[in-house]
């Protein structure tokens, strides 16, 4: 089978969709020919206007495939292949433009227009899709767009390479945040939950709001260490040693949380904000919270017995999400529409 994976960006550009497509391509390539189409790298690079998060292709390309598999929410690359058949769309998340982007506060009116335009284009794409993939029922059923297409939705979760992660029972006395340092990711909520405590927080990642978070740590008297961007090997080591990993993202831009699976594979409990999709994953190896006070209580409850029990549960759940298993599920969707 010849498969075209169509994505706005591809590594070395980094993001959740990029990582997903890279690993799905790797797993599918064990049995199929896979061409990656993107704006920046891959097998077919399409000249594009590089609008952040949504590059706009400026020319059509002739890509021959048995399956065209495009990834949204960024719609312009998927729209480029809208007339191709059969067409599969992976709907990663809704578009909810944050109040601040790249450190600047955006006008609410402009954000609403951008969200409206994105929705119109995405709906046209979904109308023509032969199959739609969502990562959880929880997210799909709560999406104002995706819930209208449930007759064509196939739920296939994100994956990880399970063997990449060391399962470690004995943990060290620190909490881990791993992700971009931007407001909507919710790090401020975590810092507030640790206000005045003796709990040590390790922050792996960088972003435009790092300075704001470093100042907040000083104000709240939190014992936090900012490592900046770290290597994948360093991140895996931190995950295996941490007492818990916390994903406090509070918007629908976070629909699954691959980092949760990675921590679970390491035998590390997870704590996540009670948002659709993310909460479904987190409950299989940890806890969800609705408020700063509840997050604080969960952190205080993390004794050795709880950590080990949740670590074992999470590892069992993660083992069912190896990329080779996930790729098989995707292949079955392809076979149904060929």
Tell how strand 104-105 and strand 223-228 pair up.
unpaired
Question: What is the C-alpha to C-alpha distance for residues 128 and 153, in angstroms, rounded to an integer?
Answer: 13
When pLDDT is averaged across residues 56-78 and rounded to a whole number, the result is 95
Q: Are 77 and 37 in contact (CB under 8 A)?
A: yes
When pLDDT is averaged across residues 227-239 and rounded to a whole number, the result is 96
β partners of residue 286:
270
Question: Side by side, which strands form the sheet with 67-72?
Answer: 44-45, 33-38, 2-6, 67-72, 87-91, 131-134, 153-155
When pLDDT is averaged across residues 229-253 and rounded to a whole number, the result is 95
Q: Are 247 and 257 in contact (CB under 8 A)?
A: yes
**Domain edges within the chain:** 2-159+322-337, 163-320
Can you tell me whether residue 206 is helix, strand or coil? coil
Asked whether residue 31 carries a pLDDT value surpassing 80, the answer given is yes
pLDDT, residue 100, reads 59
pLDDT, residue 112, reads 76
Terminal Cα-to-Cα distance of the chain (whole angstroms): 10
Can you tell me whether residue 280 is helix, strand or coil? helix
Lookup: tokens for 211:
């300075």
Lookup: tokens for 42:
């891959």
Q: Is 224 left (phi over 0), alpha (psi -120 to 50) or beta?
A: beta
When pLDDT is averaged across residues 44-69 and rounded to a whole number, the result is 93
Lookup: tokens for 163:
């063997």
pLDDT, residue 181, reads 93
Provide the strand spans (E) within 82-130. Answer: 87-91, 100-101, 104-105
Average pLDDT, the chain: 94
When pLDDT is averaged across residues 208-218 and rounded to a whole number, the result is 94
Question: What is the C-alpha to C-alpha distance for residues 39 and 50, in angstroms, rounded to an integer?
Answer: 8
Q: How far is CA 84 from the centre of its chain?
A: 27
- In this predicted model, what pLDDT tens digit does every residue of 87-145 receive, in sequence order? 999 999 998 766 655 555 656 656 677 777 889 999 999 999 999 999 999 999 999 99
Question: 144: exposed, middle or buried (C-beta count within 10 Å: 0-12, 13-18, 19+)?
Answer: exposed
DSSP letter, residue 98: -
When pLDDT is averaged across residues 269-278 and rounded to a whole number, the result is 97
Full-model pTM = 0.92
When pLDDT is averaged across residues 298-317 and rounded to a whole number, the result is 97
Do domains 2-159+322-337 and 163-320 share one topology? The answer is yes
Question: What is the C-alpha to C-alpha distance for residues 82 and 128, in angstroms, rounded to an integer?
Answer: 7
pLDDT, residue 113, reads 76
The residue with greater pLDDT, 294 or 83, is: 294
- Tokens 């590390």: give the residue: 268
**Percentage of residues of the chain with pLDDT beyond 90:** 86
Q: What angle do CA 46, 38, 137 make, to 5 degrees?
A: 145
When pLDDT is averaged across residues 218-244 and rounded to a whole number, the result is 96
pLDDT, residue 37, reads 98
When pLDDT is averaged across residues 310-327 and rounded to a whole number, the result is 98
Lookup: tokens for 177:
């945040």
pLDDT, residue 141, reads 96
277: part of which helix (H) or strand (E)? none
- Tokens 């927080």: give the residue: 201
Q: Are 178 and 246 in contact (CB under 8 A)?
A: no
pLDDT, residue 99, reads 63
Q: Are 246 and 296 in contact (CB under 8 A)?
A: no
**Secondary-structure class of domain 163-320 per CATH:** alpha beta
Question: What is the C-alpha to C-alpha distance for residues 314 and 239, in angstroms, rounded to an integer?
Answer: 13
Question: What is the C-alpha to C-alpha distance for residues 243 and 236, in angstroms, rounded to an integer?
Answer: 14
Give domain 2-159+322-337's CATH architecture.
3-Layer(aba) Sandwich (3.40)
pLDDT, residue 14, reads 83
């Amino acid at each position: 089978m010849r498969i075209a994976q169509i994505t706005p960006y591809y590594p070395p550009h980094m993001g959740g969709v990029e990582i997903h497509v890279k690993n799905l391509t790797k797993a599918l390539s064990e049995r199929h020919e896979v061409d990656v189409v993107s704006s920046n790298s891959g097998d077919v690079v399409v000249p594009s206007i590089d609008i952040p998060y949504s590059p706009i292709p400026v020319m059509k390309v002739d890509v021959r495939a048995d399956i065209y598999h495009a990834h949204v929410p960024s719609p312009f690359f998927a729209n480029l292949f809208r007339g191709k058949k059969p067409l599969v769309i992976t709907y990663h998340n809704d578009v909810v433009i944050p109040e601040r982007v790249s450190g600047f506060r955006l006008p609410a009116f402009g954000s609403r227009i951008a969200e409206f335009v994105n929705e119109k284009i995405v709906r046209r794409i979904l109308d023509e899709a032969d199959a739609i993939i969502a990562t959880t029922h929880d997210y799909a059923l709560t999406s104002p767009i995706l819930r209208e297409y449930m007759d064509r939705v196939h739920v296939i979760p994100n994956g990880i390479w399970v063997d990449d992660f060391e399962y470690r029972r004995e943990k060290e006395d620190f909490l881990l945040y791993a992700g971009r340092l931007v407001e909507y990711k919710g790090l401020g909520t975590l810092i507030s939950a640790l206000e005045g405590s003796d709990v040590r927080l390790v922050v792996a990642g960088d972003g435009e709001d790092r300075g704001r978070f470093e100042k907040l740590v000083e104000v709240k008297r939190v014992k936090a260490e900012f490592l900046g961007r770290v290597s994948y090997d360093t991140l895996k080591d931190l995950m295996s040693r941490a007492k818990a990993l916390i994903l406090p993202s509070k918007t629908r831009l976070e629909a699954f949380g691959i980092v949760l699976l990675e921590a679970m594979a390491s035998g590390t409990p997870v704590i996540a904000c009670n948002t659709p999709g993310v909460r479904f994953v987190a409950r299989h190896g940890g806890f969800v919270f609705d408020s700063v006070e509840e997050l604080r209580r969960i952190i205080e409850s993390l004794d050795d017995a709880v950590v080990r029990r949740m670590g074992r549960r999470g590892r069992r759940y993660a083992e069912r999400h190896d990329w080779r298993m996930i790729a098989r599920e995707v292949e079955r969707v392809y076979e149904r529409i060929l």
